[in-house]
Each structure stands twice: as C-alpha cells, then as structure tokens.
Chain A
C-alpha cells in the first residue's frame, strides 16, 4: 500500500535528507552518542550555527532526528525508524528476490546434475 499525506515524512524526504554528507555526518554523530545539543553538534562541524540548524531541520522534517526537551536543553535524538521502514519496503524486497533466484539456480543445477 502506498500512502501519501501532508505533513508526514515520506520516503522522498528521507532519501533527500540522506543525500548530503553533512547530514549523514550529523546522524553518525548521534549514532555514536545520542541526545546532543545543537552546540555540541555544531562544535564538530566547520559551519555556522545557522547552517547546522538548517541541516537539523531537514533531518527533523524527514523524521530522522527527534528533539526532546530536558530541563532547559533541547536534545537531538537519532530516530532510526524511517530508515528501517525503507529497509523493510525496499531492501528486503530485493534481497528476497536474490535469495529466491539463488534457490532456483541451486534447484536447476541439482536437477541437471
């Protein structure tokens, strides 16, 4: 089933968000240690605070980053679910075919042997 609805992160946004080295770097940073502030993330990049904010906003829009308040701090968390959904929807489908193609090949070879 394909669903498109306004305001909901879809595959396009995830792919677009991932199609940038700075944003992948930010995700890697959060993967290594989750729950970081903008200041922490900014310190790892040679980029203006505004630039980093723009990238984080795109990641948030794609659902890949979720922010939560902790006292006075705004913490950024990696949300891996959209990537998993793409994996389930796209990667699984093709690896399955590959596996079944190999299984077919095995059958054919064994039958002719």
Chain B
C-alpha cells in the first residue's frame, strides 16, 4: 500500500524527561548543552534573538524570539540557514513548552508550525530531524552523556 504523505504544516513532538523545567530550559538555551545533541549547533539567546553557530563558528541561525517565559515557554522563528535552499523559504515558528509533572519528570512539547511557506523545511525537519534532537536531549539530561552515533 502506498500512502501519499502531505507536507505537515504543523508538527508536534512530545517527550517525558526525568529533569526539572529549569534543567530543560538550560539544556535548550546553553550552547555547551545544545552542541551535544542539536547536530553540533551552539545555540544561545542573545537579547531578542536565538543565535545558532555551527561547530566551526559559522552562523547557522539568527532568528527572532517571539515569546520567552523561562523555564516554561520559548517561541522563536525558524529558518534553516544551514542549507541555502531551505534558508530561502519563508520563516516558520517553533514553540517549546515545558510542563512539570509528578515525580521529578517534565513534559517537553515542541510544536513546529507556520510551515505553509516552507515545504522543503517541513519535509527536512519532520520525523527524524526533531526526533533525533529530542531523543538526544532526553539521553543527555537523564544520563549526562550524549546519544551515541
């Protein structure tokens, strides 16, 4: 059976992590952490921008922060600057929601939406793209080590 897959203009990813909201916030906004699970990207929040640099110091992203409510909510624009073809598309939006649960567990939800003007980005980040990031983030926070491979 062949199923046609449409471009997903809203993508939702969710993961439980044994960590406090503060620890998760730190892990998504501190370049020392992000480089260990976000494809090597060093990500930091500078004023109202979310800046990402590659391992060699090259600029991978410089996007507007739309909302910041540490340690619970971060909303920023997304443009895939690591690839010129993707970078030429319309910016999309990424929302990080961190909700504390019982027993020292937090629920992290990542919503990547407003992808209507960025079909190639939508296809590129969907599935494995965000899953690797979130799986790596969970492993790093729970074991202190980056995901192998």
- Which one of A3, A32, A81 has the highest number of Cβ atoms from chain B below 10 Å of its Cβ? A81
Cα of A32 to Cα of B7 in the assembled complex, Å: 9
The list of the 6 closest CB pairs from A to B, nearest first, reads A77-B12, A84-B131, A32-B3, A8-B16, A34-B8, A81-B15
**B127 A80 Cβ-Cβ under 8 A:** yes
Size range of the interface on B? Answer: 20 to 34
Asked if B5 lies at the interface with its beta carbon under 8 angstroms from chain A, I say: yes
Specify which of B15, B101, B127, B138 lies most central, judged by the most chain A CB atoms within 10 Å of its CB. Answer: B15
Not counting A6-B102, A84-B134, a sample of 7 additional A-B residue pairs whose C-beta atoms are within 8 angstroms of each other reads A8-B16, A8-B101, A8-B103, A34-B10, A80-B13, A84-B131, A85-B135
Task: Please tell me if the beta carbons of A7 and B131 are within 8 angstroms of each other in the complex.
Answer: no
Question: Across the interface, do A81 and B135 meet the contact criterion of CB distance under 8 Å?
Answer: yes
When distances are taken between beta carbons in the complex, the residues of chain B under 8 Å from A6 are 102-103
Interface residues, chain A, CB within 8 Å of chain B? 1, 3, 5-9, 28, 31-35, 63, 66, 68, 77-82, 84-85, 88, 92
Residues A8 and B105 in contact in the complex (CB < 8 Å), given A63-B16, A79-B12: yes
Decide: B12 and A85 in contact? CB cutoff 8 A: no
Contact between B111 and A68, CB atoms less than 8 A apart: yes
Shortest CB distance B5–A (Å):
6
- Using known A-B contacts A66-B14, A81-B134, determine if residue A88 contacts B102 with beta carbons closer than 8 Å: no
**Is the beta-carbon distance between B14 and A3 smaller than 8 angstroms?**
no
| Residues from chain B with Cβ under 8 Å of A1 in the complex | 142-143
Please measure, in the bound complex, the distance between the C-alpha atom of A10 and the C-alpha atom of B105, giving whole angstroms. Answer: 13
Q: Which of B4, B10, B14 has the most CB of A within 10 A?
A: B14
Chain A residue contacts of B139, Cβ below 8 A: 88
* Complexed CA–CA distance, A45 and B16 (Å): 31
Indicate if the CB atoms of B10 and A81 lie closer than 8 Å.
no
Contact assessment for B135 and A28 in the assembled complex, using a CB-CB cutoff below 8 Å:
no
A1, A66, A88, A92 interface centre (most CB from chain B within 10 Å): A88
Q: Given the known inter-chain contacts A32-B4, A81-B134, A92-B149, please indicate yes or no for A66 contacting B12, CB distance below 8 A.
A: yes
